[in-house]
Amino acid sequence: MTVELILFFLLAAVALGGAINLIVQTHPIHSALSLIVVMVALAGIYLLLGAELLAMVQIIVYAGAIMVLFVFTIMLLNAGKEERTAISRAATYVGVPCGVLLTAVLAWRMVLSEAGASASGAETQGMSRELSGMLFTSYVFPFELTSILILVAILGAVVLAKREM
Amino acid sequence: MSDFVASYAGLLIALVKVIVVMLVLLTVVAYLSWFERKVVAHIQSRWGPERVGPHGLIQPLADGAKFLFKEDPTPAGVDPFVYVFAPFLALSLAMTTIAVMPLGPGTLKIFGQTTSFSVAESNLSLLVVFAISALSVYGVALGGWASNNKYSLLGGLRSSAQMLSYELSLTMSVVGIVLVTNTLSLREIVEAQRGTVLGFLPRWFVFPQIVGFVCFFISAVAETNRSPFDLAEGEQELVGGFHTEYASFKFAMFFMAEYAAMVTVSFMVSVLFFGGYLSPFPDSPAFHWTFYLPAALALIGGALLVPHGLRYHTAFGRVLLPVMGVALVGVGIVCAQRGVLGVIQGPFWLAAKVFVVLFIYVWLRSTFPRIRYDQLMDFGWKFLLPVSLANVLVTSLVVALRMQR
């Protein structure tokens, strides 16, 4: 058993545990913290795959910026404990089987598929350079389109907030 | 088998490096509090710590012992897990960043093994630093939230909003350097600053990137929640801010985290803008004597400390200070060996630059009054961010024009 494999199982266990904890916890802050744990564990798995840039972006954008906003909002609203209601009958009889089925299909496909994708972290610097080169040459149109979309979203948020004031 | 031994030795060396850097960092953090109190006191015409040991030198140890033995009450209604977890998170994140800093040029030979002159080498070390600093918001924010106290919550909210806002300009102000050097590795950024301009001026990025430097430094002070941006603990309005409900060692951990973050940011400033481990003197025969500067400074400092210590007004000081002086002379003699001198050049210059930046930090604290919260937000969003964005635009224009030629 190599170190990479042990690390992978460790990180996978942390990610799964965090994901389960996210649902089980009743307080929003605890759920948000579990989500951060999941994201950091995923970043660790990206690192194991040699995708250093992706791992760092995952931490900066998701675990850092987005989750800080989540936590900030929860703190600002002073959200209390979540109230649990009994699960509806439709959820028990349709939702649960559907969930089990989906998991089974995904697991089946994954087991069948070839165990590939073992990029080594040999040239991470070159990888980030290549990635940015591609973003600004072959994929520049979708890239710029996404930035305009984000800009529109920001402007919309500002307009909505201004109306409240 | 030999393969296994080699990997084992690599692990061992990594462990040794971690322990050495950790011990040095903890000592620096402890004595930074003494240094800050001393400097602020002298700026305000006071003496500062003076009673515990000569010149108050034992004060950090006494503080540490006091923190350890204080009662550690847990207020009613706190969130038990988050309340304990927050200081741990703050301290461990603040101390992690130092791992990717390049501490010296090239590689190091320990026990016949070559290893890089830093705890961990990464091609994306700049991004690693920003990733860790992005996470360090949580320590303060969660500590404030978990305390079940309105003042703490307000302090935590304030500081998380502040850190979020200034992180933008902090990151933007570095983009200029990344554009010029075309790399995200801190070591390569330092190496790009090797050499001189006009024969005497070091090729530091502080000169071409002066706007970026000013933005970076201001945002860094705000990012570490230091005065004049320490609104998270504005005593007049918020008692102690996010750490109001923390006592004993948990408070000490927040305290140490703040100082460790200061050290880290000083490292960043020296690495990004002041040539990191490179000597500020040109590499010419006329300046060859600067090679012996580390040893000479230790020798002279030690030699001056002995007579000063012998005349100190307490008996303990008359013993401790001369002993320290002799030890310093010993360090100087060890450093004067040619092999050692070559190895410590990098760490010496880096430490000197970090020390200067830390001094400026303390100087700022004793000079400027705390600014108001809305001023803080206006300054971050309406001044620093546009200026750093303009810096990015101008720098990329210059880089593009240079590529055209």
CB contact under 8 A, B134 and A29: no
Q: Establish if B297 belongs to a structural domain.
A: no
B153 close to A (CB below 8 A): yes
> What pLDDT is stored for residue B1 in this prediction?
45
pLDDT of residue B23: 92
In a domain, B35, yes or no: no
Number of domains in chain B: 1
pLDDT for residue B75: 83
Task: Give B159's contacts (C-beta < 8 A, 6+ positions apart).
Answer: B137, B140, B141, B144, B225, B231, B232, B241, B242
pLDDT tens track for B250-308: 888 888 888 998 999 999 999 999 988 888 887 777 777 888 888 888 889 988 888 88
* Confidence class for position B234, pLDDT limits 50, 70, 90: low
Q: Is residue B318 part of a domain?
A: no
User: Are B79 and A56 a contacting pair at CB < 8 A?
Assistant: no
Q: Which residue, among B3, B81, B89, B135, would best test binding to A if mutated, counting the most A CBs under 10 Å from its CB?
A: B135
* The pLDDT value given to residue B3: 63
> Which residue, among B257, B289, B321, has the nearest Cα to B98 in the 3D structure?
B257
Distance from A36 to chain B by nearest Cα, in Å?
Answer: 10
Please name the member of B124, B138, B183 whose beta carbon is closest to the beta carbon of A56.
B124
Interface A-B: count of C-beta contacts within 8 A: 74
Number of residues written out for chain B: 405
Residue range B324-328: average pLDDT? 90
Burial B49-86 (b: 16+ CB within 10 A, else e): beebbbbbbbbbeebbeebeeeeeeeeeebbeebbebb
Q: Is B124–A75 a contact, with Cβ atoms under 8 angstroms apart?
A: no
The answer on pLDDT for B387 being more than 90 is: yes
| Residues B16-28: tens digit of each pLDDT | 888 988 999 999 9
Contact A52 B138 (CB under 8 A): no
Q: Please indicate whether, in this complex, the C-beta atoms of B134 and A30 are within 8 angstroms of each other.
A: no
Chain B contacts of A59, Cβ < 8 Å?
Answer: 131, 134-135
Sign of the dihedral through C-alpha B199, B200, B206, B210:
negative
User: B57 lies in a domain?
Assistant: no
DSSP string, B240-263: TGGGTT--HHHHHHHHHHHHHHHH
Strands B113-116 and B196-197, by their bridges, are unpaired
Contact B124 A33 (CB under 8 A): no
Say yes or no for a CB contact (<8 Å) between A72 and B123: no
Share of chain B above pLDDT 70, in %: 95
Q: Do B122 and A27 touch (CB under 8 A)?
A: no
Residue ranges of the alpha helices (H) in A25-139? 28-48, 52-57, 67-77, 89-90, 96-112, 124-136
Q: Do A64 and B131 touch (CB under 8 A)?
A: yes
Cβ atoms < 10 Å from Cβ of B360:
14
CA distance B214 to chain A (A): 23
Distance from CA of B260 to the nearest CA of A (A): 20
Cβ B134–A76 below 8 Å, yes or no?
no
Beta carbons of B153 and A75 less than 8 Å apart: yes
Q: Measure the CA–CA gap between B211 and B173, rounded to whole angstroms.
A: 8
Decide if B134 and A59 are in contact by the 8 Å CB cutoff.
Answer: yes
Q: Which comes out higher in pLDDT, residue B10 or B137?
A: B137
Is B298 inside a domain boundary? no
Task: Check residue A16 and give its pLDDT.
Answer: 92
Dihedral sign for Cα atoms in the order B350, B351, B354, B355 = negative
Place of tokens 């860094």: B220
pLDDT score at A104: 93
How many CB atoms neighbour CB A38 within 10 A? 21
Q: Is residue B42 part of a domain?
A: no
B399 touches chain A (CB under 8 A): no
Q: Which regions of chain A are under pLDDT 70? A: 1, 114-126, 164-165
Among A65, A75, A128, beta carbon nearest to B134? A65
Asked if B82 lies within 8 A of A29 by C-beta distance, the reply is: yes
Query: From A30, which residue of chain B is nearest by alpha-carbon distance?
Result: B82
pLDDT in tens, A56-77: 888 888 888 888 888 888 888 8
Q: Which one has a higher pLDDT value, B363 or B121?
A: B363
Whether B141 has its CB under 8 Å from any CB of chain A: the answer is: yes
Residue of A nearest to B7 (CA): A3
pLDDT greater than 90 at residue B167: no
Task: Indicate the helix (H) or strand (E) that contains B115.
Answer: strand B113-116
Given a cut of 90, is residue B205 above it in pLDDT? Answer: no
Q: Give the span between the Cα atoms of B103 and B347, in whole angstroms.
A: 6
Average pLDDT of chain B? 85
Q: How far apart are CA B218 and CA B1, in angstroms?
A: 53
Q: Is the dihedral of CA B348, B354, B357, B361 positive or negative?
A: negative
Could you tell me which residues of chain A have a Cβ less than 8 Å from any Cβ in chain B? 27, 29-30, 33, 36, 40, 52-53, 56-57, 59-60, 63-65, 68-69, 71-72, 75-76, 78, 124-125, 128-129
Report the alpha-carbon distance of residue B38 to residue B48 in Å, rounded.
Answer: 5
Q: Tell me the average pLDDT across B78-90.
A: 87
Domain containing B211: what range? 62-278+337-404
* CB pair distance less than 8 Å for B184 and A36: no
Mean pLDDT across the stretch B32-53? 88
Q: Are strands B113-116 and B201-202 parallel, antiparallel or unpaired?
A: unpaired
Yes or no: say if B21 and B120 are a contact pair by the CB < 8 Å rule: no
- What whole-number distance in Å separates Cα of residue B169 and Cα of residue B379? 11
Mean pLDDT of all residues in B44-57: 86
Complex confidence, ipTM: 0.79
Q: What's the pLDDT band for B188 if we cut at 50, 70, 90?
A: confident
Tens of pLDDT along B85-115?
A: 889 998 999 888 888 888 888 777 766 667 7
Is the bond preceding B228 in cis, omega lying within 30 degrees of 0? yes
Please tell me which residue of chain A has the smallest CA distance to B141. A72
- Domain-located, residue B34: no
- Residues on chain B touching A30 (C-beta within 8 angstroms): 81-82
Q: Which residues contact B211 (CB under 8 A, 6 or more apart)?
A: B173, B176, B387, B388, B390, B391
How many of the other CB atoms lie within 10 Å of CB of B135? 20
Mutation site, A62, A67, A75, A128, interface B, largest B CB count within 10 A: A75
**pLDDT value of residue A126:** 59
- Whether B188 is covered by a domain: the verdict is yes
CA atoms within 13 A on the CB side of B82: 23
Q: Which two tokens mark B119?
A: 């705890």
